[in-house]
């Protein structure tokens, strides 16, 4: 029997994941059946089960790829000698995400998939582990970045690093949720909105504020 090349094995696995992703985007992780997955891949059940033991394994693999796309887009941030400010950083990251999913593809595909991943993680212990691992990596990346901001005097050294990091992660998640549900928000829109927030001159405790005259 002729040996199957690694390139062939990789291509077949890619075929399965791409088809499964389409099925999950259309019907959701929970509602999509293995028959839906098989129909999208154009493969037999035996061919698919050679690579994945269950639908749950396919879900975990598709989810892992989606999360890795986001994580990889943040990798460059830690390598910069002088970090980008959050508004510029997010615009750069979202641009890298768009490039990673491919020019001309539906820009809402990845956000929609991420929202499904987060929702499914609430009911699937296997997927919850995948999400928790990715979140741990992202939190580490951002804590390191916030510490760099502190070193440059951009963030108060007394502020809890993890609190700032998790707030920034929340902003990223919010961007993807809005894109998934409503669309219509570009990376430049997000950058300008965040820039407006970080430039706010807020009154501090003990400082009297004089109301504006209308």
pTM, entire model: 0.80
pLDDT at residue 214 is higher than 50:
no
Residue 194's pLDDT band (cuts 50, 70, 90): confident
**Tens of pLDDT along 118-173?**
999 998 898 999 999 999 999 998 999 899 999 988 889 999 999 999 998 998 89
Number of H helices, E strands in the chain: 9, 0
Residue 75's pLDDT band (cuts 50, 70, 90): confident
Residue 213's pLDDT band (cuts 50, 70, 90): low
Dihedral sign from CA coordinates of 134, 136, 140, 142: positive
Dihedral sign from CA coordinates of 19, 21, 59, 102: positive
Paired tokens of 69 = 């796309």
């Amino acid at each position: 029997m002729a040996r199957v090349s690694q390139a062939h094995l990789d291509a077949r696995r890619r075929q399965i994941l791409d088809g499964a992703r389409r099925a999950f985007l259309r019907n959701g992780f929970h509602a999509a059946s293995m028959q839906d997955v098989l129909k999208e891949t154009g493969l037999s059940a035996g061919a698919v089960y050679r690579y994945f033991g269950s639908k749950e394994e396919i879900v975990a693999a598709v989810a892992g790829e989606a999360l890795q796309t986001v994580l990889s887009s943040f990798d460059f941030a830690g390598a910069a000698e002088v970090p980008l400010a959050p508004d510029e950083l997010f615009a750069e990251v979202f641009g890298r995400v768009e490039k990673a999913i491919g020019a001309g593809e539906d820009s809402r595909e990845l956000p929609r998939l991420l929202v499904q991943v987060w929702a499914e993680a609430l009911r699937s212990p296997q997927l919850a582990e995948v999400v928790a691992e990715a979140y741990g990596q992202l939190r580490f990346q951002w804590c390191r970045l916030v510490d760099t901001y502190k070193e440059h005097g951009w963030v108060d050294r007394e502020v809890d690093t993890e609190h700032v990091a998790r707030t920034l992660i929340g902003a990223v998640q919010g961007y993807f949720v809005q894109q998934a549900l409503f669309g219509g928000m570009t990376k430049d829109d997000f950058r300008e909105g965040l820039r407006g927030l970080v430039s706010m001159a807020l009154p501090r405790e003990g400082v009297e504020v004089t109301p504006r005259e209308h």
